[in-house]
């Protein structure tokens, strides 16, 4: 019985490093530093102890890329929580998971896109009918912010790793990877 070498959650590619010349601690330190120094109009990065819990069964926490905003009277925050995890056979890879917080209710991106119900949120000063009309607008806004954050964190990951994609798999669970060509 085999398994894929790299586990992947939300990243669009497998951001891997492998071989004898790679220093796991150096890459972890460099990526954490790059995330902490990230500040653009669209996002900020940081290292927050509170987010370590999101990585407890995935890998070592690297940092969080986030954007907070107010939309339709709701406090919104989109976080991509980066982590590094060892490969099953060799090397390691960088990945992230999302946490979307709308008025203190947490979602992951897939859950938010599929099941977000604006009527779950207490907004005493806003009409429920107005909020229902805004549901799709909020989902579009959060999706756009998620895409911006994804681009930023993956740009950091590309600087430190080799981007791979799975091109085939076998019935025993093993996979074949190929390098993604840079445009």
Q: Of 116, 110, 93, 99, which is closest to residue 165 (Cα–Cα)?
A: 93
pLDDT of residue 126: 63
Q: Please state, as a whole number, how many other Cβ atoms lie within 10 Å of the Cβ of residue 176.
A: 12
Total number of residues shown for the chain: 183
pLDDT digits (tens, 9 = 90+) for 79-119: 999 999 888 778 889 999 999 998 888 888 888 877 777 66
Residue carrying the six token digits 């806003």: 126
Residues in the chain where the model's pLDDT stays below 50: 1
H helix intervals, 37-98: none
Per the CB < 8 A criterion, the answer to whether 82 and 72 are in contact is no
For 180, which DSSP code? P
pLDDT of residue 21: 67
pLDDT of residue 110: 84
Q: Of 21, 52, 74, 38, which is closest to residue 148 (Cα–Cα)?
A: 38
pLDDT of residue 30: 92
pLDDT of residue 132: 74
- What residue spans define the domains of the chain? 14-178
Per the CB < 8 A criterion, the answer to whether 173 and 1 are in contact is yes
Per the CB < 8 A criterion, the answer to whether 161 and 146 are in contact is no
pLDDT of residue 164: 92
């Amino acid at each position: 019985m085999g398994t894929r070498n790299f586990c992947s959650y939300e990243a669009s590619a497998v951001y891997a490093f492998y071989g004898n010349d790679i220093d796991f601690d150096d890459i972890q330190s460099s990526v954490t530093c790059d995330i902490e120094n990230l500040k653009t109009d669209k996002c900020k990065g940081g290292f927050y102890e509170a987010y370590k819990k999101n990585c407890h069964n995935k890998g070592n926490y690297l940092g969080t890329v986030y954007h907070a905003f107010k939309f339709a009277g709701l406090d919104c925050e989109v976080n991509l929580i980066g982590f590094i995890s060892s490969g099953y056979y060799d090397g390691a890879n960088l990945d992230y998971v999302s946490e979307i917080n709308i008025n203190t209710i947490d979602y992951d991106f897939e859950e938010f896109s599929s099941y977000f119900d604006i009527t779950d949120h207490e907004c005493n000063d806003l009409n429920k009918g107005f909020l229902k009309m805004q549901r799709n607008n909020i989902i579009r806004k959060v999706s756009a912010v998620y895409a911006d954050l994804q681009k930023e964190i993956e740009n950091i990951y590309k600087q430190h790793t080799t981007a791979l994609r799975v091109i085939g798999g076998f019935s025993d669970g093993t996979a074949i990877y190929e390098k993604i060509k840079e445009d």
